[in-house]
């Protein structure tokens, strides 16, 4: 781990005191609907937009949450595609 000079530590202390510590990586609390369905994902995204519009979430926080929801959406899409492919394969086999 690199050493940090004393002046740099002092500057960080002054900035932390003046502006507060960075909130990056801090937990975010927001009520969201179940995201196990496409409808639930749409409602969750609407809730995030509303929370961002009313300054309950910062745009950066909203983007972070949306990326998690996007991963859930992709998982749902893949599961749906697997079912469809299986049906097509079974229909082609008969």
Residue 45, pLDDT above cutoff 70: yes
d(CA 33, CA 47): 9
pTM of the model: 0.67
pLDDT of residue 75: 95
pLDDT at residue 94, rounded to an integer: 83
pLDDT at 3: 63
Give the residue numbers spanning the domain of 61. 34-94
Q: Would you call 40 exposed, middle or buried from its count of C-beta atoms within 10 A (0-12, 13-18, 19+)?
A: middle
Chain Cα centroid distance, residue 67: 4
Q: Residue written as tokens 């749902």?
A: 76
Instruction: Give domain status of residue 54, yes or no.
Output: yes
**pLDDT tens, position by position, 2-33:** 565 666 556 666 666 666 655 566 788 899 99
CA distance 80 to 76: 6
The answer to whether residue 29 is domain-embedded is: no
Q: Is residue 84 part of a domain?
A: yes
The answer to whether position 93 is within a domain reads yes
pLDDT in tens, 48-89: 999 999 999 999 999 999 999 999 999 999 999 999 999 999
Q: Count how many domains the chain has.
A: 1
């Amino acid at each position: 781990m690199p050493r940090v000079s004393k002046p740099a530590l002092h500057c960080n202390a002054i900035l932390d005191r003046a502006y507060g510590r960075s909130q990056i990586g801090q937990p975010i609390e927001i009520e969201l609907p179940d995201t196990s369905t496409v409808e639930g994902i749409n409602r969750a995204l609407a809730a995030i937009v509303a929370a961002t519009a009313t300054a309950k979430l910062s745009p950066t926080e909203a983007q972070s949450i949306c990326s998690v929801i996007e991963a859930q959406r992709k998982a749902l899409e893949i599961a749906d595609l697997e079912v469809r492919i299986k049906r097509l394969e079974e229909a082609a086999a008969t």
